[in-house]
Amino acid sequence: MKVYNLENIKSAAELKHRTEAISMNERSIIVLDTFTGIAQKLQAVSISLFHLDIEKVMNQLQDFENDCGNWLDNLLSSEMQKAEAAKEIKVHINQISRLCNENPNIIDDHEIMAHGAMISSLILSHYLEECTKKNFILNSCHFMRLGLDRKPDIKYVKKNVEELMKDCPDVPILITQSRLCKNAYDEVDFFPQIGNEYYATVIGAVFHADEIITSLRSDEICFRGMEHTRTLTYGEAENFIDSGIALLHPECIPLARTVGMAIVLIKTPEDTLRISSEKTGTKVKAAVSRRGVVFVKLRSLGVLTSYLFIGKVFDVFEKYKVPVYLATSSNVSVSLAVKCSNDTLRLIYRELHKYAEIGMETEMSVVSVIGDLNWEKHTGLEARIIETLKEMPVCMISYGSSTHNLSVLVREQDREKALMTLCKAFLDIPSEKFDVIKQTQLQDSFVM
């Protein structure tokens, strides 16, 4: 079974394009986000209802109904199919209009948006039917529930999915709604905004899917050249995310690993990235950089013993919630690569200056090499990587905490040169492509 995560759909043409790749050869689940225009119009209805502007609500609902009609006109050719779809959509619009007779509250907002999710599912369902793709709509409120901690109640969800599937028609495509669910009080609710791909991963886990197919939501990623480098293990993907590259929501990886489910990220049909347990044998797979990093070097004044000194340093950075990207230490000194504001740095200095000599340098970058860097299997690989960077000053080297990552801290002015040097040495990117890559480097970069 495959799970297709469809989100950010703005037009009928885009919907047609995004559904072309859905396979009929095996059972699939489409996790559908509310169409962008439908969500915006119903959000406006909700605001008008909150302000008790009933006349405006009715006008907006009429406009919304016309907009749904436009969707059907652009997707369906059969007049009978259009009439049937319009009738089903009208039921939801009538239910929204009935809310005008009640006191507006936060539950009304959720209920209104829930109707938008169901209307989007209906439009997709009728379009697939016209394409002779048999399908069935699963209302996600019937099986998806959040616990008191606002996280999915997996035990409850699995139990309800098992019951639901007993009576589910034997059709190749199931459609369900992204983020729509019930909360712990059995009220209509929506999944927290932490990325629709995480919701799709939860759906895949409880339906025992083999693979999730979703969009690559980061524009920071540029694929270059090698077909065999377009695969990552779960561990390598986690290192990408830790390096600041927004592949997908971090919680997707451990959940997918637990159930043995692959995640396929699509940028274009030619540019895809597969994350699974499969190892390709490729040693170095990508070079990653993170900009805007601060280099903090602390040398103990001897006020605290070595272990108390290290503990104190990390306690202070934890206190101010400062992410630490790299760390190296000896008995009497600690060096860190962090990212925080100047105001936070001043507070940290104020707390630690009585324990250590402190030096800080801004405009630094972390450059990381990602891949299978196991020191036992690939003896000397880490030495080759460092040797490649011999012509530029390196402030820190971090290796050993992960078998998938070697990171160095360099000056911002050397970041691009470090990336290009690593790409040429380990990714087989020819010199003539360097200018192309150079033009696509963004705030945080990833060349694969």
pLDDT at 280: 67
173-197 pLDDT, tens per residue? 999 999 899 998 988 888 877 778 8
pLDDT tops 70 at residue 238: yes
User: Stretch 59-79: mean pLDDT, rounded?
Assistant: 93
Instruction: Region of 150 please: left (phi>0), alpha (psi -120 to 50) or beta.
Output: left
Is the separation of the CB atoms in 9 and 36 below 8 Å? yes
pLDDT tops 80 at residue 228: no
Closest CA to 420 of 388, 379, 381: 388
pLDDT at 443: 43
Q: Read off the pLDDT band of 104 (50, 70, 90).
A: low
User: How does the average pLDDT of the chain come out, rounded?
Assistant: 84
Is the separation of the CB atoms in 246 and 220 below 8 Å? yes
Within 10 Å of residue 193's Cβ, how many Cβ atoms? 7
**Start-end of CATH 3.40.1160.10 domains in the chain:** 2-215
User: Stretch 389-406: mean pLDDT, rounded?
Assistant: 83
Bigger pLDDT: 332 vs 175: 175
- Using CA atoms, how far apart are residues 74 and 68, in angstroms rounded to an integer? 10
- Using CA atoms, how far apart are residues 140 and 426, in angstroms rounded to an integer? 46
CATH class given for the domain over 284-442: alpha beta
Residue for token digits 């080759």?
A: 384
Under CATH, which architecture does the 2-215 domain have? 3-Layer(aba) Sandwich (3.40)
What is the pTM assigned to this prediction? 0.78
**Start-end of CATH 3.30.2130.10 domains in the chain:** 284-442
Instruction: Region of 441 please: left (phi>0), alpha (psi -120 to 50) or beta.
Output: beta
Q: Which tokens hold the place of 263?
A: 């995640």
- Using CA atoms, how far apart are residues 15 and 35, in angstroms rounded to an integer? 9
Is the separation of the CB atoms in 371 and 305 below 8 Å? no
Residue 392 burial by CB count (10 A; 0-12/13-18/19+): exposed, middle or buried?
A: middle
